Amino acid sequence: MTIMFSSIDFEIWILMHFESVTRSYTRKELVQKLSRSAYFNQDYSRFKGNSYREYIFDKVQDAVDHANKLYRKKSDWINDDPFTNIQIYLPEIFKRDNF
């Protein structure tokens, strides 16, 4: 069985499309940050669930690189925050290695 996990929220993975993540965030902090003009430029809590394509489609490789960097330092999904392992399974899901 494979478990893909991103703590504290899936939004840690979304944030990695824009920048490296090295510290823990609260859900409120993530929503506030992702609502800024440099990210989604709208109330992210209302946007969440809509299509992300125009915002992050061309940034997937950045997210993979940022996630790999974090994973080298924090790879214990139970104790580490932030943590994500989504990048490990993307090649299998999309049948490609480069994004």
Structural domain boundaries of the chain? 6-94
Q: What are phi and psi of 84, to 5 degrees?
A: -155, 150
pLDDT in tens, 47-96: 998 999 999 999 999 999 999 999 999 999 889 999 999 999 999 988 88
pLDDT in tens, 9-50: 899 999 999 999 999 999 999 999 999 999 999 999 999 989
